[in-house]
């Protein structure tokens, strides 16, 4: 198989990788905020239920979660999960929303209570305090860990092949198996390196833009 033919086959797999990445990212970012709100709720049953859920998701491998989401409905409720891609997306979104929620929570809780009190002294509402005082600082503080987590997501997309979703790694494995050549496995590293490189540059740019605030 020629280099160009391998490249085209890998690009097909890379499209699935990009699809998993962007759908997971755009769905898990807002869902993480919801989980954070529940986790920080003063209503104790909701707080402890959410904290337990977060503990379970963070304490088990993403690979296991993908397998459970795909096979679980059929084994437990006798309802087959028809789409492998849907199973992957559900598992990934829940997993990353949970991790993002902890980053959000850590950023919010890192803001000293004195800043909230100072805003109250100035006659600001809770909404004004959050959006004008707390949120700018939280965004600056969570950008580095969020960047790391998002770059990890790029590489974690390869776990989709555990249930035979044809993403980049699965495409390469298929070529290796059918054509008896090894170099496509090394070639896909270029795809990941370039993708992660672009994200690294992007997050470095964002961090520099946020340097107007020192704190």
DSSP 160-171: GGGGT--SHHHH
Say how many Å lie between the first and final Cα of the chain, rounded: 56
Identify the CA nearest to 104 among candidates 32, 25, 46, 47.
32
Report the number of distinct structural domains present in the chain: 1
CA dist., res. 120 & res. 115, Å (int)? 9
Residue 15 is part of which domain span? 3-212
Backbone angles phi, psi at 202, to 5 degrees: -60, -45
Torsion, Cα 7 11 14 15, to 10 degrees, reads 180
pLDDT (tens digit, 0 to 9) for every residue of the chain, 215 residues total? Answer: 889 999 999 999 999 999 999 999 999 999 999 999 999 999 999 999 999 999 999 999 999 999 999 999 988 888 888 899 999 999 999 999 999 999 999 999 988 888 878 888 888 888 888 888 888 888 889 999 999 999 999 999 999 999 999 999 999 999 999 999 999 999 999 999 999 999 999 999 998 888 765 54
> 149, 95 in Cβ contact below 8 A?
no
CA distances from 37 to 57, 137, 150 (A): 17, 18, 21
pTM, to two decimals? 0.92
Buried b (16+ CB within 10 A) or exposed e, 122-154: eebeeeebbeebbeebbebbbbeebbebbbebb
> 97, 28 in Cβ contact below 8 A?
yes
Identify the CA nearest to 33 among candidates 100, 128, 108, 133.
100
Q: What CATH number does the domain containing 170 carry?
A: 1.10.3720.10
> 165, 16 in Cβ contact below 8 A?
yes
> 122, 72 in Cβ contact below 8 A?
no
């Amino acid at each position: 198989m020629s280099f160009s033919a391998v490249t085209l086959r890998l690009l097909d797999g890379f499209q699935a990788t990009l699809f998993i990445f962007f759908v997971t990212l755009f769905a898990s970012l807002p869902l993480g905020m919801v989980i954070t709100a529940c986790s920080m709720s003063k209503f104790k049953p909701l707080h402890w239920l959410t904290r337990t859920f977060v503990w379970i998701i963070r304490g088990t491998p993403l690979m296991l979660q993908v397998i459970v989401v795909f096979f679980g409905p059929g084994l437990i409720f006798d309802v087959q999960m028809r789409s492998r891609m849907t199973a992957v997306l559900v598992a990934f979104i829940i997993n990353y929303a949970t991790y993002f929620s902890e980053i959000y929570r850590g950023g919010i809780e890192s803001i000293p209570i004195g800043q909230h009190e100072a805003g109250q002294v100035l006659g600001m509402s809770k909404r004004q305090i959050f959006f004008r005082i707390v949120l700018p600082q939280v965004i600056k503080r969570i950008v580095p860990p969020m960047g790391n987590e998002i770059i990890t997501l790029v590489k974690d997309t390869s776990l989709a092949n555990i249930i035979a979703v044809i993403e980049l790694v699965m495409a390469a494995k298929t070529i290796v198996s059918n054509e008896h050549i090894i170099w496509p496995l090394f070639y896909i590293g270029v795809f990941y390196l370039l993708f992660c490189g672009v994200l690294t540059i992007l997050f470095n740019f964002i961090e520099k833009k946020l340097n107007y605030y020192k704190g």
